[in-house]
Amino acid sequence: MNYSHLEKNEILLSKAISTHSDNPDALRWYVRVACEDFPGRAPRICEHAIGSMIHFGPDNLHVLVGALIDAGEEMPPNVLWLMCKEGFLIGEVAPQVVDLMGCILKSDKPVSLYEVESTLHVAQIVGCNDVVELLSNYIETQRERQKENICSALSGAQFKSSIGRKI
């Protein structure tokens, strides 16, 4: 990934996040600093830190993503996959990670359906049943919403069409 778009201070903050990722309080503080000092840039700063943090396990990533949600920020790309990566290697994902994934899916700024589907496929392959259930339910709910939106749009178009004919 190319992070040349990050300024020097943003890169330094990202390094501080990743080096203090074993301390949840410090991690939350650094995320808050990123949100306050670099408005709108916190997700990119945290995304830069995530690469190093993955090596420390999913708990640290759980804290980082939780802090971003608490601050009302967008999620870095592929966050569901990143949260599950360690668990996928052993075929089990920690319950707190599954809970946080549920929070992400319910947030105002959800992840892309493509990311949800691709994470679901890997979860199915490795047998992470909690993740499979969560993501399957989410996809089903999204498809139902799409169906309702399409039906309501078509109903509205037919109604407008019939009014136009009567006039």
pLDDT band, very low/low/confident/very high, at 132 (cuts 50, 70, 90): very high
Rounded Cα gap, residues 104 and 133, in angstroms: 15
130, 95 contact by CB (below 8 A): yes
pLDDT in tens, 55-114: 666 567 777 877 888 888 777 767 777 777 767 777 778 787 788 888 888 877 667 888
Structure tokens at 48: 């830069």
- Write the secondary structure of the chain as one string of H (helix), E (strand) and C (coil): CCCCCCCHHHHHHHHHHHHCCCCHHHHHHHHHHHHHHCCCCHHHHHHHHHHHHHHHCHHHHHHHHHHHHHCCCCCCCCHHHHHHHHHHHHCCCCHHHHHHHHHHHHCCCCCCHHHHHHHHHHHHHHCCHHHHHHHHHHHHHHHHHHHHHHHHHHHHHHHHHHHHHHC
pLDDT band, very low/low/confident/very high, at 1 (cuts 50, 70, 90): very low
Question: How many of the other CB atoms lie within 10 Å of CB of 32?
Answer: 14
In this prediction, residue 167 carries a pLDDT of 55
pLDDT at 161 over 80: no
* pTM to 2 decimal places: 0.64
pLDDT at 134 over 90: yes
